[in-house]
Structure formats: C-alpha cells, structure tokens
Amino acid sequence: MGKHGPVKDEYAEDEAYCRDYLGIKNAKGLLARKLRELSTPVTEEGLLASPIHNGRFLVVDLETTGMKSDQANIIEVGAVEVDGFQLGRELSSLVNPGMPVPYFIQRLTGIHNHMLRAAPSLEEVLPSLEGMLRGRVLVAHNLRFDRAFLKRAWRDIWDMTLEGPAMCTLQLSRNVYPELASHKLDSLAAHLDLRPEKNGKNSRHRALGDAKLTARALIKILQKLSSEGVGTMEELLTLQSPRRKRKKAALPTPEEQTGEERS
C-alpha cells in the first residue's frame, strides 16, 4: 500500500481484465478498476472477501420527523459512495413526509415545512438510493436508527426486506478508539481532525452533510485499520461487534443506546 492509496501494481489485474475481457487496451489505474467493477456483478460473498482498500460502501444519513420509525417519516435522504479510500457519487434529496415537521426538528435541521411541499415522495427517491446500494455495504452512524427507517421504507413501498451487509461507524468507533469519552459524530470528527461543511445541504444535521462527514471519518478509520493489518471486508465487519471489550468500560447494548448518539 502506498502512502496515498493503492500502488500502481495493484491495478495490474484490473488492467488485464479490461484488456483481455473488455477489449479496452488503454484503460489504466483507477479507470481500469472502475470499468472492471461496472462490468462485473458484485456478489455479497465477493464483496466480503475483497480487501478493505477495494471496499465498496454506501454511507447513508436520514433526517426524520422524529426518532421512532413506526411513528415518524423521512424528510431528507443523503448518501455518499466510498470506494476504498475515495469518496464517490452523492445523493441528496428532500422528501415530502406527508405530515408536519415538529418545531424542534425544524430548528435542528433548518428544514421547514414550506421546503417540503414540492419535494418528491419517498417512493420517488428510494429507487435511486436502492440503485446506489447494490453491491455495497450500508454504513451509517448509529446504524440502528437509519436502518429501521430504511427497513420500513423497503417493506411499505416494495413489500420487501432490506438485506445485505451493514456497518455502524458508531460501534466501530467504540472498538477502534476506546479511549474516546464520546463517540458521537462530532466527537469522532474532532478526534480525526475533520470539520463539517457549513452551507445548505452540506451543513451538520442535514442528511448529505452528515453522510459526507461520516464517510470522511470512515475513510480515516479504514486507513488506520489497513495499516494495522486488517485485510478483508469480512474482517472489518467483525470489528463492530459489541462483544469486543473496551479498555475503559463495557459497551452498552442496543437497548441502552440513546437517540443522542446519532448526533
């Protein structure tokens, strides 16, 4: 592994694939890797077996009208692809929740009822999110919260179960940085010397802004773990297990986690 990413030799198989199977002789480096990924369906088995510097993630953040997925609705979706140690495509959309947004949510997010009147429905936004998620690990900070809303959306709109590998950066932070007193997104970002952007949809407590901040934190964690010898995506996913012991205190169970931890 080079200091700033994969060294040239790591693209040799991708370049050979493009040359021998796709007939593209001049595809080099990262371009060759992208072309190979696009032409090769990614199975869950293949995804988990891949090295983390080739990992494929989709970092998602949702803003909602409340904390309970069976009572509240989504008002904004933000998603960012992470390919290895690189940020990829983004998705950002307000969502008409079909219900008023409580005042405290308006103050927290800056999303007001008038902004949502002409916004698309979740049924219109969800196909784009689902398309980005294919062949990727779903990632969120306090995954339990966001995945609960996504599971409900998959069930209500498509009568399907949301499946596939997923990772919680909150839990991962607890196990990778046990010395931190808090693992909230702001605390993790500060520890990693990351600063949130401060304009519009990229702001803190906006879906895209929080997804991008989480994605940047994820990359920092991936780089640290890669340098420490964590090899595959499957090994990475085991590091979020709550059964791993912290140095200072026992990890809380999911029931003990509070909604504040997603902030």
Which of 53, 112, 191, 205 is the catalytic position? 205
Catalytic annotation on 4?
no
Q: How far apart are CA 13 and CA 50, in angstroms?
A: 14
Query: What is the four-CA torsion angle of 150, 163, 233, 42, rounded to 10 degrees?
Result: -110
Q: Do 119 and 93 form a contact (C-beta atoms < 8 A)?
A: yes
Which of 101, 83, 119, 112 lies closest to 218 in space, CA to CA?
Answer: 83
The DSSP code sequence of 103-164 is: HHHHHHH---HHHHTTSPPHHHHHHHHHHHHTTSEEEETTHHHHHHHHHHHHHHHHS----S
Write out the catalytic residue numbers: 205
